[in-house]
Amino acid sequence: MSNYKNNYFQRRSKPQGPRVNEKIRALDVQVIGSDGNNLGVLTLKKAIEIAKDESLDLIEISPNTNPPVCKIMDIGKYKYDLQKKASLAKKKQKVVSLKELKMRPGTEIHDYNFKLKNAKKFLVKGDKVKFTVKFKGREMQHIQLGKDLMNRIIEDTKEVGKIETHPKFEGRQMIMVIQPI
């Protein structure tokens, strides 16, 4: 009984990579030779035979077509090429991070200029910048100061960034996101 449970709940591992040689399910396959020439539609046995004569493998490249497309090549080289292509795509990928700058409605001009300089630096580098203006206590009665500050930020950063999220209120803070151009 316990042996049954162990086998029942085991996960079946999915086969990794494409089907090769005898694991191909189709009866007829479209074959591309090792030199890249199209050999036409052949029976699976005949295609495997040709691959074995060249001491290579028959690899199913496109299983969803009718008939499936198979290529004669070395499986190790094929997997290596796929891995190399994936790592190259990952290398070219650009990761955009979100930098946050927090201010208050009464932020002095020097602090404002310092934060604005950092924001421009982040935008030039390709990161998004989230500006947060926090209101405490009676500052909530002077929301216009926060709106004026956000409008000033928009004007000062328009040559390096554009607005992604317009200024909006969330609780006791006003939030805006600027993305690089």
Query: Phi, psi (5° rounding) for residue 9?
Result: -90, 0
What is the architecture, at CATH level 2, of domain 98-180?
Answer: 2-Layer Sandwich (3.30)
The CATH code of the domain at 16-76 is 3.10.20.80
Q: Per residue in 41-85, pLDDT tens? A: 989 899 999 999 999 999 998 888 888 999 999 988 888 998 999
pLDDT for res 91: 86
Alpha-carbon dihedral sign for residues 99, 103, 105, 111: negative
**For residues 44 and 24, what is the distance between their CA atoms, to the nearest angstrom?**
8
Name residues whose C-beta falls within 8 Å of residue 71's C-beta, 6 or more positions apart in sequence.
Answer: 31, 32, 58, 59, 61, 78
Whole-model pTM?
0.53
The pLDDT, as a whole number, for residue 117 is: 95
Domain ranges in the chain are 16-76, 98-180
Question: Tens digit of pLDDT for each residue in 128-173?
Answer: 999 999 999 998 898 999 999 999 999 999 999 999 999 999 989 9
